[in-house]
Amino acid sequence: MANIVAIVGRPNVGKSTLFNRLTGTRRAIVMNTAGTTRDRQYGKCEWCGKEFSVIDTGGWVVNSDDTFESEINRQVDIAIKEADVVLLVVDVNEGVTQFDTEVAHLLRQAKKPTVLAVNKVDTFENQYGAAEFYKLGLGEPFILSAENGLGSGDLLDEICSRFRKDDTDEEIDDLPRFAIVGRPNAGKSSILNALIGEERSIVTDIPGTTRDSIYTRYNKFGKDFYLVDTAGIRKKAKVTEDMEYYSVVRSIRAIENSDVCILMLDATRGIEAQDLNIYALVQKNKKGLVVCVNKWDLVESKTTQDIKGYENAIRERLAPFTDFPIIFTSALTKQRIYKVMETALHVYENKQRKVPTAQLNDKFLPLIENYPPPANKGKYIKIKYCTQLPNTQVPTFVFFANLPQYVKEPYRRFLENKLRSWWDFNGTPVQLFIRGK
């Protein structure tokens, strides 16, 4: 299972600068939530061959009537509950503040693996200021300049050393794993209960136990798979912003641990920012996708035309990826809820699909012959051969060309669309690379 690192700290200590350094800005997902003054970010970092998720919880200062302090407490609370390692960032120039002391206390109390980064140590000369932070009782303070990178290697080594050791071989078995994700009140628990019944084990909140009970095995009607549980989110949350945040952070773990995500939308509400945030997480993690439009019983007009309009609107919002199934359900009346599972299994199969090289070339080479990539700067581009790579997370194809750098995105997309029209890759991301010989 992937590990999650949450960055916490006061505003202006350098959290988002550090986030960018760890993940590279390009690859970040900005999670914007109504009411927050700054957006939270989610990205991936790789160090020593390990990939982990990084969440900058820094935007979690809301324009509510709550005090700054209680907002921060929530920030830390979420980090404690949902992350594997908390990275507390402090500012060397400010010294130990009241806030730092309080946060450190919360983290110690929770016995949370914590790494303390003393930021803005831009040169070795001012590293001595870092010693003061020993008194936070969080062990050795790691000096850091998020801006110029000083100290970041040691910091990353320390973070990685705190990860759970079992993160590579925790795969239970190779049954498909589905996650039902979506914003609060979309009907996730309802559909889960309708499928599995109330005997479903209750997810406990005790740190360390949630991840063991996160899977529920489903074995009925000849279908066998795991449902990755995101339930239990609502129960903890107090206010709307809290719920949104919990649901996104909880979704991260569920999505990362799944093969196919069932994205639940509320038919009465349409697609909103939070749905798009969760969708972005699904995409970033290259998971299969089934879109489920729930509460269909509440929709009055259901002509074929209405349904088409609905489908088109959804595909438009989730573009450019449009090749995924959409199912209209009611958890209340159980309409089509088994269809959702069948479809998820089908997407899972598509995600495993292997196309023999001979078949690929038989289809693609005549097509490419007739519709070659447009010549570039007077040079003709030839694609001679294509093949699917073995052992990849999603179906991955390589096309070998004499001048790969001249094959542009529209042509790559053209090839992908053809691929999707010839073989069933519905619901699964695919990758197409053009490479030199």
Q: Which residues bind ligand GDP (CB under 6 A)?
A: 9, 11-17, 58, 119-120, 122, 145-147, 182, 184-190, 234, 294-295, 297-298, 330-332
Task: Identify whether the C-beta of residue 218 lies closer than 8 Å to the C-beta of residue 340.
Answer: no
- Measured from the CB of residue 75, what is the shortest distance to ligand GDP in angstroms? 11
- Measured from the CB of residue 125, what is the shortest distance to ligand GDP in angstroms? 13
- Measured from the CB of residue 16, what is the shortest distance to ligand GDP in angstroms? 3
Question: Which residues have CB under 8 Å from 265's CB, separation 6+?
Answer: 182, 186, 271, 275, 291, 292, 293, 294, 314
* Nearest to ligand GDP of 237, 403 (CB atom): 237
- Measured from the CB of residue 17, what is the shortest distance to ligand GDP in angstroms? 3
| SS3 of the chain: helix, strand, coil, percent, to 5 | 40, 20, 40
* Nearest to ligand GDP of 3, 330 (CB atom): 330
* Nearest to ligand GDP of 170, 272 (CB atom): 272
From the number of C-beta atoms within 10 Å of its C-beta (0-12, 13-18, 19+), residue 133 rates as: buried
CA torsion angle 209 211 213 217 (round to 10): -170
* Nearest to ligand GDP of 12, 322 (CB atom): 12
β 29-31/40-47 pair status: antiparallel
- Measured from the CB of residue 82, what is the shortest distance to ligand GDP in angstroms? 17
- Measured from the CB of residue 189, what is the shortest distance to ligand GDP in angstroms? 3
* Nearest to ligand GDP of 20, 426 (CB atom): 20
* Nearest to ligand GDP of 109, 123 (CB atom): 123
Q: Which residues pair with 30 in a beta bridge?
A: 41
Task: Identify whether the C-beta of residue 33 lies closer than 8 Å to the C-beta of residue 245.
Answer: yes
Find the DSSP H helices in 353-388.
Answer: 357-370
Q: How far apart are CA 56 and CA 37, in angstroms?
A: 14
β 141-143/114-119 pair status: parallel
